[in-house]
Structure 1
Amino acid sequence: MATAPQPQLPLFYKDLLPLNSKDHADWSVSSFDDASFMADTHAIPLTVDEFVDAQRHYPIVFTANDAPLPIALMGLNEGVNTFIEENGKLEAGVYVPAYIRRYPFILAKLNQGSEEMSLCFDPESGVVGKDNEGNTLFEADGDERKPTQYTNDVLEFCRRFETSGQRTKAFLEQLIALDLMMDGEIAITRNDMPEKPFVYRGFRMVNEEKLRELPAEKVEELNKSGMLMLIHAHLFSMNLMRIIFERQSAQGKLPMPENKA
């Protein structure tokens, strides 16, 4: 079976194979028994279409690189996910980002010289295979095999995710063009150690001061486009930084605090 080009695999994916009716005619997809594949992941990629739902449970910040992208923080430190319970299950009732729901499938380019994308999957995920029970990927159509409704739904979900990704990219480009981004820093202290703050850096966020200083016509433009609502969802979600900190503290997953200068 051909392997999709993979100079750098996305988060969670250990390998990629293009799905096809010849090699995977009688393969099926089962459900994950738990969420252990994300147990050591503290930051999950997010799209702007998810901001309103995600901001109820996670701080939404932006990566600190040349092309920042939004992420939902499920923990404040590398390797810490405060929403995975002892039995490996994801905590019930919290919003599940589309990036997680998409796994183990993804749209990927098989030919780097083409813009065409094909539906691929991670064969190392443990849920896609020939002897699996669950949703079948292909069904008989005369002498041929055609995608089942499940497979078509997966493909459509991945397509919508890619479209959301383009909207997310445009949103970030606009924030940068308006010079609204700033390096983020959050210092949190515990009541029992007020002199030793836990300082979190390495992310970007919207500069509220610069947002307030925008001309009225630009603010109105952001409001009409829906961007202002997204910005506010991000800013409101920052109040959850302390909540995630407290979750880590209760779970005994805090690192050593910084020495106060």
Structure 2
Amino acid sequence: MSNHQILNTADHAELRVHTHASAEFGDTAMAALIVPEEFRQVQAHYPIVFRRDAASGKFVALALFGFENGENLFLDGDVWDARYRPLSIAIQPFLVGRAPDGEGEGQVHIDMGHPRVSTSGEGTRVFDEHGQSTPFLEDITRKLGALHVGYQASGDFYDALARYELLEPFTFEVPLSNGSTHSLVGFHMINEDKLRTLDGEALGALHAEEHLMPIFMALASVSNLTDLVARKDAKENRG
């Protein structure tokens, strides 16, 4: 159960956090929320897909780790087999929160109910013996800031995709060497054909608004589906 608290030295002076990858720490998700500002790093390893929220109709971008719920094909025991982990994964169990009155800038909160919070005395310290932030916490704070700013700015990106109708639903078949087949459904991707037909004015507007680069990064990331299939095939063959 979640237990969000404002991070502070009075309550969390001895706090330690497990930082290595593990199924027991919640790393078995098949996808993770990402923001356009990190598409360049994400596309080097993962396919980028988009999902529409049924209630709001709004889109979010996801880094895809597997083809079914609870499957992370980049997780190998306590090793995450990629050089980059999306910000929404890398910052856990921390998050950006607000003061109780909702005023002021965001604060660093921690979910004390998260499995990454150590109760055994093991793990990485958040504060040093003098109550100062450790390099680990400083890195987390930087990543939280980047994620928060990226999320706040992402609305304009999705508005632009909608304006030019650049997202389309897709189905991806995953044939494996053992004869089985899996299907990836329920996601959207950039419609490359529509992007190609945009005129210079539209492309210029996308470039000026700094949306064109993340669009190209999302398109480039689709080639990672081949690697993901290979990972799935290897996993199935191992049993």
Q: TM-score range by the shorter chain?
A: 0.7 to 0.9
Q: Secondary structure at the match of 1:52?
A: helix
Asked if 1 retains the 8 angstrom alpha-carbon contact of 2:160 and 2:206, the reply is no
> 1:117: how far off?
2.8
Over 3 Å counting, the alpha-carbon distance change for 1:133 and 1:68 in structure 2 is closer
- Are positions 1:127 and 2:114 aligned together? no
Q: Superposition pairs for residues 44-123 of structure 1, below 5 Å?
A: 44-65=32-53, 66-85=57-76, 87-91=77-81, 93-111=82-100, 113-114=102-103, 116-123=105-112
Cα distance per residue 1:187-235 (max 9 Å; x no partner): 3434674xx7533210111122221222211112223443222112111
> 1:71: how far off?
0.6
Asked if 2 retains the 8 angstrom alpha-carbon contact of 1:52 and 1:230, the reply is yes
The code of the aligned residue for 1:121 comes to I
- Are positions 1:241 and 2:225 aligned together? yes
Aligned residues: 231
> 1:17: how far off?
1.8
The code of the aligned residue for 1:232 comes to F
Q: Secondary structure at the match of 2:10?
A: coil
Q: Superposition pairs for residues 1-261 of structure 1, below 5 Å?
A: 14-24=2-12, 26-36=13-23, 37-65=25-53, 66-85=57-76, 87-91=77-81, 93-111=82-100, 113-114=102-103, 116-124=105-113, 125-128=115-118, 131=121, 134-137=124-127, 140=130, 147-148=132-133, 150=135, 151-190=137-176, 193=179, 198-252=182-236
> 1:82: how far off?
0.5
Asked if 1 retains the 8 angstrom alpha-carbon contact of 2:92 and 2:116, the reply is no
Asked if 1 retains the 8 angstrom alpha-carbon contact of 2:176 and 2:233, the reply is no
TM-score (norm 2): 0.82
Asked if 1 retains the 8 angstrom alpha-carbon contact of 2:37 and 2:150, the reply is yes
Choose between structure 1 and 2: higher helix proportion. 2
Structure 1 residue ranges without an equivalent (≥5) = 1-12, 141-145, 254-261
Over 3 Å counting, the alpha-carbon distance change for 1:101 and 1:73 in structure 2 is same
Matched-pair identity in %: 23
Asked if 2 retains the 8 angstrom alpha-carbon contact of 1:69 and 1:169, the reply is no
> 1:107: how far off?
0.7
Rounded Cα–Cα distance in structure 1 between residues aligned with 2:58 and 2:104: 20
Over 3 Å counting, the alpha-carbon distance change for 1:156 and 1:57 in structure 2 is closer
The code of the aligned residue for 2:133 comes to T
Asked if 1 retains the 8 angstrom alpha-carbon contact of 2:19 and 2:124, the reply is no
Rounded Cα–Cα distance in structure 2 between residues aligned with 1:149 and 1:136: 6
Structure 2 residue ranges without an equivalent (≥5) = none
> 1:242: how far off?
2.9
Asked if 1 retains the 8 angstrom alpha-carbon contact of 2:31 and 2:62, the reply is yes
Q: Secondary structure at the match of 2:173?
A: strand
Q: Which has the larger radius of gyration?
A: 1
The code of the aligned residue for 1:97 comes to P
Q: What is the match of residue 5 of structure 1?
A: none
Over 3 Å counting, the alpha-carbon distance change for 1:176 and 1:139 in structure 2 is farther
Asked if 2 retains the 8 angstrom alpha-carbon contact of 1:31 and 1:127, the reply is yes
